[in-house]
Copies of this chain bind each other. A is one copy, B any other.
Amino acid sequence: MLRPKVLLRYSHHVFQPKTALDDSIKALPTHELFQTLGFIRQSQSGLVHWLPMGLRTLNKVESIVRHRMNQDGDALEVSLSALSPRSLWEKTNRWSGTELFKLKDAKKASYCLTPTCEEDITNLMNEYITSYRDMPTTVYQITRKYRDELRPRGGLLRGREFLMKDAYSFASNEEEALQTFQKMNAVYNKIFQDLKIPFVSAWADTGDIGGDLSKEYHYLHEGGEDTLLTCDQCGDVSNVEKCESFPDEVGLHSGDVNVKYALSKDHSTLICYYYPSTRQFSWNLAMDAMEGDVDVNLKNESNEKVLKVFERPDDEIMFSKILRVMDCRLNSRSNFPDFPLQKYLKNNFGQLNEVSLVAAEAGEICGSCEEGHLRGDKSIEVGHTFHLGTKYSEAMGSKFTDSNNNSNSIPQMGCYGIGISRLVGAIAEVARDSKGFKWPTSVSPYLMSICGKNEQLVQETRQTIESPDVLSQFNSKLGLGARIKLSHALGIPLAIIVGPKSWPKVEVEVRGQRWNGNETWKQSYETHKDEYDWQIIVTDDGTEKHLVPIENLSKICNILLEDL
């Protein structure tokens, strides 16, 4: 092999902004800030290319999740094909899902790009789980997932292609399954602690994925799409979709009343849910009120459509029932809509009172302790755990031999998701200010930058630092101030400023935030300030700087990074 004659200097700064940043970044939406700073590039609506800076942060989030899944979750990593055959999705009635990307191969076989892998993983594990001795088992993967959202928005928060950690647990009985569910929630707590950004966990709706028990993990943020309700007495936190409340006083609503029609599972009963027109109807509470005896396939159908399905010949009317379910906020003076059916018998009617049918609102009484009041917070969902029971294992024909030698037992499943790329977007959203991003050290693309125009001093400084996590290459056209500004905007926790004036002392500017409120560095400072010749300067605008000799730089940076 011939060797290159010239040592080429590669352009590692190629994705950086080519000119100095100005104050306009303050007003940029996070998704655009990501692009301005060279973290990602949107290729199509809902699709992004990850650039080197963004990929570093993405990889760090991924590593934290993987580490905890292995070490604390005892989970086995797999990596499934993204192409899943139609036949599997028909078994669970999910092929008709409108958000599936579907395609055919050259032989006309149909596939979807997997948005989640309950079908595939259950089908796969059917080959390997044959005895109760093979459980509990949790498998997970960190792979790209696909969802053809009609209105992708929020950049990384809701993309059509995203990196997701999805885990699936298999247990031989419900107790083992609930233990696994708890264990996985403990893993989630550790993951979110490792990430350093404050989070809350909330009981949640199981939604379309089904199952019995579900927790969500959220970052509180005023721009979030979710709403959490927290009780000021019992501390219970729930997603608004799952939260039941009681009105301060019942029967106070005397305005307009809305109605939502539904049918019982056997279609013998028309259910008329009445609720205040000023409130959000809650399908979960409506299901609970009927103890689940509702045909969920009609959930998203219009009232007209439901009535059409209920329509029957005159001679069968006597065998049908009509059940009026009244939200407890209504009273008899409320303005009810007309009842649309002409032919019915008085005997057909039943009525259910004193239930809550609408989404809880901040200020109402907690439905859990029935004492405290609910506080509402906007939030961004970043993780979700489900105890699924046998919904998928039954549909996919899973069987195992239990300890009593019964070979027709069905495994209990759980599933556990974290959107890795979504987390990058959520952390960025929560941890930014007018200067740009402000990453915790756990996921910052670099821990430190070295800003200086004197290339030799930059190189000397670089060599004193052990960590490989240092950004020292900038576009040569950028001045010192522009480099510091860029480092801050990129959200790198420490900017090391070198120049001939102060040399052999350098300045360390702290950009990062002390997320846990810990200030352990102050103790180290008191202990070592003389020994290390370590000075602190706080400027008028509150910027914290440390003036340190080059030979102690690496030690002092390590001390500062611990709290960031």
Contacts and interface: CB of A to CB of B under 8 A. Distances in A.
Given A102-B103, A103-B102, A85 B44 contact: yes
Contacts of A2: 182
B41 A127 contact: yes
Interface in A174-202: 176, 179-180, 182-183, 185-186, 189, 201
A322 interface: no
Given A8-B176, A43-B80, A48-B81, A186 B1 contact: yes
Name the interface size band of chain A. 35 or more
Contacts of A8: 74, 136, 176, 179-180, 183
Nearest to A138: B10
Given A41-B124, A101-B103, A144-B82, A186 B50 contact: no
Interface in A1-59: 1-6, 8, 10-12, 14-15, 18, 41, 43-44, 47-52, 55, 58
A79 B55 contact: yes
Contacts of A185: 1
Contacts of A11: 133-137
Given A136-B8, A186-B3, A52 B77 contact: yes
Given A4-B179, A49-B81, 8 more contacts: A4-B183, A8-B136, A8-B179, A12-B74, A14-B137, A49-B78, A49-B124, A82-B82
10 contacts: A3-B186, A11-B136, A15-B76, A18-B130, A44-B109, A47-B81, A49-B124, A51-B78, A52-B139, A144-B144
Interface of A: 1-6, 8, 10-12, 14-15, 18, 41, 43-44, 47-52, 55, 58, 74-85, 98, 101-103, 105-107, 109, 111, 113, 120, 124, 127-130, 133-139, 144, 146, 148, 150, 160-161, 176, 179-180, 182-183, 185-186, 189, 201, 476
